[in-house]
């Protein structure tokens, strides 16, 4: 069984299209029955029409409402109730292309040692298609070093065997943003991540409630994730790479604090032991 988890918060304008993109997968036409997949929509305290929209579907869609505790807590709640051997996530503003599930499950079947799959994305910003920059290029294999500058793991485009979460844990609920970056570092340190070199999702952005707009200086949260990564049992080479990236993040944050008129915070970032030239 595949368990699909959609965390959502006040996304009634998007949630129906997201759910439909899961239900319309071409894989279900060849494989039907109650044990093929489940779709868990975790409502993180929405105050809009999300409840009525999702409740109108019925099985295999399950609606789980909870207090507003953030996206990590919502994903973790979905994981706690998921019954599947495979786990996939979909952000409520993104869409799966119709062949995503078929291609990823076929790959898992063909290569049973695979634990984590990713895929390419079609980016849409404010209704218009845009091209990702070179820094967002996806890689395949042992990608820990590639994941250090920024999160290259798109959770909406990924699929995992359930044992991954039993092994490395779930999402850090203490991080209000960049929780996917933190998870990606733990994942890539433990396993190869195989990237299927074709678009699997439509990634929609530009709306005002995105976390990248809510919080300034996302490197603050990436910095915390990098500090955690130092406790992963790194090789000396990996530890050096992480410390070098910590230094980069500290310099960026110090400069940002200076621009915002926060000299004390800027000085604190510069004093961090890893913030060195």
The rounded distance, in Å, linking the Cα atoms of 225 and 144 is 13
Instruction: Give domain limits for the chain.
Output: 2-214, 234-271
- Dihedral sign from CA coordinates of 71, 230, 136, 195: negative
Give the model's pLDDT for residue 29: 77
What would the CATH number be for the domain defined by 2-214? Answer: 3.90.550.10
pTM listed for this prediction: 0.93
- 3-class SS shares of the chain: helix, strand, coil, % to 5: 45, 20, 35
The rounded distance, in Å, linking the Cα atoms of 68 and 45 is 4
Give the model's pLDDT for residue 275: 46
- Dihedral sign from CA coordinates of 81, 85, 89, 90: negative
The rounded distance, in Å, linking the Cα atoms of 72 and 173 is 5
pLDDT tens string, the chain, 277 residues long: the values are: 999 999 999 999 999 999 999 999 999 977 766 679 999 999 999 999 999 999 999 999 999 999 999 999 999 999 999 999 999 999 999 999 999 999 999 999 999 999 999 999 999 998 899 998 899 999 999 999 999 999 999 999 999 999 999 999 999 999 999 999 999 999 999 999 999 999 999 999 876 655 555 667 899 999 999 999 999 999 999 999 999 999 999 999 999 999 999 999 999 999 886 444 4
Tokens of 54: 């999702």
């Amino acid at each position: 069984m595949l368990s699909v988890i959609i965390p959502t918060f006040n996304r009634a304008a998007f949630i129906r299209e997201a759910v439909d993109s899961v239900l319309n997968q071409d894989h279900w036409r060849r494989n039907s029955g109650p044990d093929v997949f489940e779709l868990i929509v975790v409502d993180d305290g929405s105050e809009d029409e999300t409840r009525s929209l999702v409740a109108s579907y019925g099985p295999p869609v399950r609606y789980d409402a909870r207090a507003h505790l953030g996206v990590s807590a919502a994903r973790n709640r979905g994981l706690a109730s998921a019954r599947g051997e495979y786990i996939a996530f979909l952000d409520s503003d993104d869409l799966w292309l119709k062949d995503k599930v078929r291609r990823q499950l076929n790959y898992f079947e063909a290569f049973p040692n695979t634990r984590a799959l990713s895929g390419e994305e079609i980016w849409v910003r404010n209704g218009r298609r845009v091209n990702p920059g070179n820094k967002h290029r996806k890689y395949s294999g042992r990608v820990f070093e590639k994941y250090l500058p920024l999160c290259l793991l798109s959770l909406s485009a990924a699929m995992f065997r359930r044992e991954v979460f039993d092994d490395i844990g779930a999402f850090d609920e203490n991080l209000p943003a960049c929780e996917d970056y933190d998870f990606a570092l733990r994942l890539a340190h433990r396993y190869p991540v195989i990237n299927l070199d074709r678009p699997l999702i439509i990634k929609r952005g530009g709306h005002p409630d995105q976390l990248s707009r809510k919080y300034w200086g996302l490197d603050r949260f990436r910095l915390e994730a990098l500090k955690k990564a130092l406790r992963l049992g790194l090789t000396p080479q990996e530890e050096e790479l992480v410390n070098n990236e910590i230094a980069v993040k500290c310099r960026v944050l110090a400069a940002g604090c200076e621009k915002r008129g926060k000299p004390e915070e800027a000085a604190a970032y510069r004093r961090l032991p890893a913030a060195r030239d």
